[in-house]
Amino acid sequence: MNMSVYSDQLLTIVVPCYNEQEVLPETVKRLGEVLKKLVDEGKIAAQSKLLFVDDGSKDETWGLIKKFEKDFEYVTGIKFSRNFGHQNALLAGMTIAVKYSQMIITIDADLQDDINAIYEMIDKYYEGNEVVYGVRNSRKTDTFFKRQTAMAFYNVMGRLGVSLVPNSADYRLLSQRAVESLLDFKERNLFLRGMVPLIGYQSAKVYYARKKRFAGKSKYPLKKMIKFAFDGITSFSTVPIRLITNLGLFIVVVGIILFIYSIIRKIEGNVEIGWTSLMASIWVIGGIQLICLSVIGEYIGKIFKEVKMRPRYTIEQDDYSKKFTEDN
C-alpha cells in the first residue's frame, strides 16, 4: 500500500487512565514525541494513535482526553461507563485497537515505565517477535515494601506453577495476531500478565529502569494489591485446592493417631486429661476448616463469576473507532 516497507504498520499505544488529570498532559506530550519520531523514522504508519482508556475517572481525565483529541490528530480516547479496573481497561483498549493496528503497546499513564523502551520494542517486533515484554531491571524507586512484596509474589506464583515473566507488568508490545489470540481467552477474571505467556508465539524482552510516578498518587493501594495478587493465584492455579487435600489427609492421619492414643489412655484409666487437647483440636481444626472452606469458596466464586458471562466492561464513548471511520 505504502512506499516505505514499514510505514503501513500502524501502532496504537493503549493507556489506561483512572483519575490521572495530574499526569495526562505530560503523558500526551511525551508519548506524542515518541510517536512522531517513529513516524519520521518510517517505522510506524502516520495514522498511529495514542488510545487513552478512561476507566470511569471522577476527575477531569475525560475532559482532558477530549481536549487533546481536538489538539492532536493522534490522540483518541474511549470512556467506560464506570470504573471497571486496570485489567479491563487494558483489554478494552486492545479489543478496540486491534481492528486497525498491526502493533499494540500497553503502558501505564504515569510513565513509571521508561517510554524510551518503545523504540527497542518496535525493533524487536520487526525482528519477528509478536510479544515483547518490558522488564524492569531495577526497582530502586519503588519502596522497599513494594519490592519485597512483588518478589514474594513472583516466587509464590512460580511455585504454584504459573509461569510469569518476572518483573514484567502490563508494559508490552503485542502484534495484531497476538492480541487476537489473547482475546480468545474468554475469562472474566483477568490477569493479563499470566495470560500473555500462554498465547505462545515468538517473544522477546526489553529491559528498562522503573521510575517514580511523576505526579498523582498510586491507584493501587495495599488492599487492591493484595486482592490482585490473590486473584492472580486463584485464576491461574488449582494448587491451593490440592494443598487442602494434602492437609486433609495429614489431619486424618493425626486424628487416627489421637484416637488410638485416647483409647489407650482410657484403658489406663486417665480420662479427665482430655479437656486441653479437646479444646485445642476443636479450635485448630475449626480454624483449618474455615480456611479450607474459604479457599474452595474463592474458586466457586470465580466459577460463579465466569458462568454469568457478564460483560467485562461497558463503553460509553468510543472516539478511537470514530476517528478511523471518519478518516477513511
Q: Which residues bind Mg ion (CB under 5 A)?
A: 108, 110, 112
Contacts of 196 (CB under 8 A, 6+ apart): 131, 133, 172, 174, 178, 182
- First-to-last alpha carbon distance for the chain, in angstroms, is 14
Residues that bind ligand UDP (CB under 6 A): 16-18, 20, 55, 83, 85-86, 89, 108-110, 112, 218-220
Measured from the CB atom, is 64 or 89 closer to ligand UDP?
A: 89
Rounded Cα distance, 70 and 49, in Å: 13
Longest dimension (CA), the chain: 98
- Residue number with CB closer to ligand UDP (209 or 293): 209
Q: How far is the CB of 293 from ligand UDP (least distance, A)?
A: 30
Task: Choose the contact partner of 189 out of Mg ion, ligand UDP, none; CB within 5 to 8 A by kind.
Answer: none
Angle between helices 86-97 and 176-183 (to 10 degrees): 120
Q: Is 117 helix (H, G, I), strand (E, B) or coil?
A: helix
Spatial strand order in the sheet of 11-17: 203-209, 131-138, 168-175, 103-106, 11-17, 49-54, 75-80, 315-318
Q: CB 124 → ligand UDP: shortest distance, Å?
A: 23
Of residues 111 and 292, the one with the C-beta less far from ligand UDP: 111
Segment holding 75, helix H or strand E? strand 75-80
Q: What are phi and psi of 107, to 5 degrees?
A: -150, 145
User: How many C-alpha atoms does 151 have within 13 Å on its Cβ side?
Assistant: 10
Q: Which of the listed partners (ligand UDP, Mg ion, none) does 85 bind, with a CB threshold of 5 to 8 Å by partner kind?
A: ligand UDP
Write down the least CB distance from residue 327 to ligand UDP, Å.
27
| Of residues 177 and 227, the one with the C-beta less far from ligand UDP | 227
| Beta carbon nearer to ligand UDP, 45 or 192 | 192
Q: Which does 120 bind (CB under 5 to 8 A by kind): Mg ion, ligand UDP, none?
A: none
Report d(CA 65, CA 25) in Å as an integer. 9
Looking at the Cβ atoms of 48 and 61, the one nearer to ligand UDP is 61
Which CB, 224 or 266, lies closer to ligand UDP?
A: 224
Closest CB 177 distance from ligand UDP, rounded Å: 25
CA distances from 59 to 28, 145, 172, 217 (A): 17, 29, 27, 13
Q: Name the minimum Å distance from CB 16 to Mg ion.
A: 10
Backbone angles phi, psi at 134, to 5 degrees: -90, 120
Measured from the CB of residue 112, what is the shortest distance to ligand UDP in angstroms? Answer: 5
The partner residues of 79 in beta bridges, in order of sequence, read: 54, 317
